[in-house]
């Protein structure tokens, strides 16, 4: 009898430079060291039954990453969380362990906090508002089938902006499903090309995941 455990974890600080492939290997090693009774697939090349909700871009921080594992026996959720946190490297922390409420395929959106370093956040905010006031923001996006044109204005839900002493902080909601997925860096790179106001290297943090119906993803 296999039991499904879903874990929400953060990936911050130096851990943001761990690639998705290395993150998978990291969790595999930690699961072994935590001595969790992980379930394996059947066949000639069995592998751990582990699934990540969505790959995070290298250099992005996150407060809402999700991994799902299957165990061969039931263990209390808090015990799984504590065992993993005792092993995981600095910058990666299990925030919650629970029974899944949504199927992985039901994830549809993600909210991001994007910080644009600047000495003049007021002017940068004006430039951002002008950029987002366009009827369309057309760009070429690379897909598995080649390049296609998409409208970033249509895909972006601009939630709010905060002018701070050291820069402008944007809060955005973008598609993050298996069919439509938009990286916020594409939007910011397009803005930078169209803005007369320069800014420093952007900082990205994924803060929340949502279902295709825009309810929080659990």
Rounded-to-integer distance, Cα 214 and Cα 107, Å? 9
Please report, for the chain, how many H helices and E strands are present, in that order: 5, 10
Cα angle for residues 55, 112, 103 (degrees, 5° grid): 50
Give the mean model confidence (pLDDT) for residues 162-179.
96
pLDDT value, residue 152:
97
pLDDT value, residue 144:
72
pTM: 0.94
DSSP states along the chain: --EEEEEEEEE-GGGGGS-HHHHHHHHHHHHHHTT--B-B--SSS--B-EEESSPPPTT-EEEEEEEEEEESS---HHHHHHHHHTTSPTTEEEEEEE---S-GGGEEEEEEEEEEE-S-HHHHHHHHHHHHTSS--EEEEEETTEEEEEEHHHH-EEEEEEEETTEEEEEEEEEBSSS-B--HHHHHHHHHHH-SS-----EEEEEEEEETTSSBP-
Give the mean model confidence (pLDDT) for residues 21-25.
97
- Choice among 14-23, 52-61, 78-87, 139-148 with the minimum mean pLDDT: 139-148
| Per-residue pLDDT at 7 exceeds 80 | yes
H helix intervals, 11-105: 20-33, 77-85
The band of 143, judged by pLDDT with boundaries at 50, 70 and 90, is confident
Domains of the chain: residue spans and CATH = 3-100 (3.30.70.580), 105-211 (3.30.70.60)
CA 84 to chain centre: 20
Q: List pLDDT tens digits, range 55-100.
A: 999 999 999 999 999 999 999 999 999 999 999 999 999 999 999 9
């Amino acid at each position: 009898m296999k039991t499904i455990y879903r874990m929400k974890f953060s990936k911050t600080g130096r851990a943001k430079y761990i690639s998705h492939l290395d993150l998978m290997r990291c969790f595999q090693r930690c699961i072994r060291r935590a001595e969790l009774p992980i379930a394996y697939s059947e066949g000639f090349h069995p592998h751990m039954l582990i699934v990540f909700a969505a790959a995070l871009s290298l250099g992005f921080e996150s407060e809402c990453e999700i991994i799902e594992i299957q165990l061969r026996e039931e263990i209390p959720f808090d015990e799984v969380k504590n065992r993993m946190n005792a092993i995981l490297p600095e910058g990666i922390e299990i925030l919650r362990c629970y029974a899944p409420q949504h199927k992985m395929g039901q994830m549809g959106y993600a909210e991001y906090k994007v910080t644009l370093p600047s000495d003049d956040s007021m002017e940068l905010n004006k430039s951002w508002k002008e950029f987002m006031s366009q009827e369309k923001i057309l760009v070429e996006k690379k897909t598995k089938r080649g390049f296609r044109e998409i409208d970033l204005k249509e895909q972006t839900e601009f939630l709010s902006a905060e002018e701070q002493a050291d820069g402008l902080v944007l809060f955005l909601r973008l598609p993050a499903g298996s069919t439509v997925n938009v990286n916020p860096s594409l939007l910011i790179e397009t803005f930078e090309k169209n803005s007369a106001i320069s800014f420093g290297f952007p900082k990205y943090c994924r803060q929340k995941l949502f279902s295709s119906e825009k309810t929080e993803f659990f």
